[in-house]
């Protein structure tokens, strides 16, 4: 499923899985907080998802 013209959902999930184990990076922390059950505010989750998509696109 294409998210943008250069990124699909499968690629995003693959990159997020790899980033989740990065302990000293902003994107690693971002993935972990995005996946946390404590973060259920839709506006914050949408902003986090946007940042993750932008990060994934920059590596495409």
**1 — pLDDT class (breaks 50, 70, 90):** low
pTM: 0.80
Which residue would you say has higher pLDDT here, 27 or 5?
27
One-character DSSP codes across 16-50: HHHHHT-TTSHHHHHHHHHH-TT---HHHHHHHHH
Q: Which has the closest alpha carbon to 13: 25, 29, 26, 1?
A: 1
Region 37-51: mean pLDDT is 87
Q: How far apart are CA 48 and CA 30, in angstroms?
A: 7
**Residue 59: its pLDDT value, please?**
72
């Amino acid at each position: 499923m294409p998210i943008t013209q250069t990124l699909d959902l499968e690629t995003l999930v693959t990159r997020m899985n790899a980033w989740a184990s990065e302990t000293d990076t902003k994107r690693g922390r971002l993935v972990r907080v995005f996946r946390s059950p404590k973060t259920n505010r839709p506006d914050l989750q949408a902003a986090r998802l946007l940042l993750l998509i932008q990060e994934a696109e920059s590596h495409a």
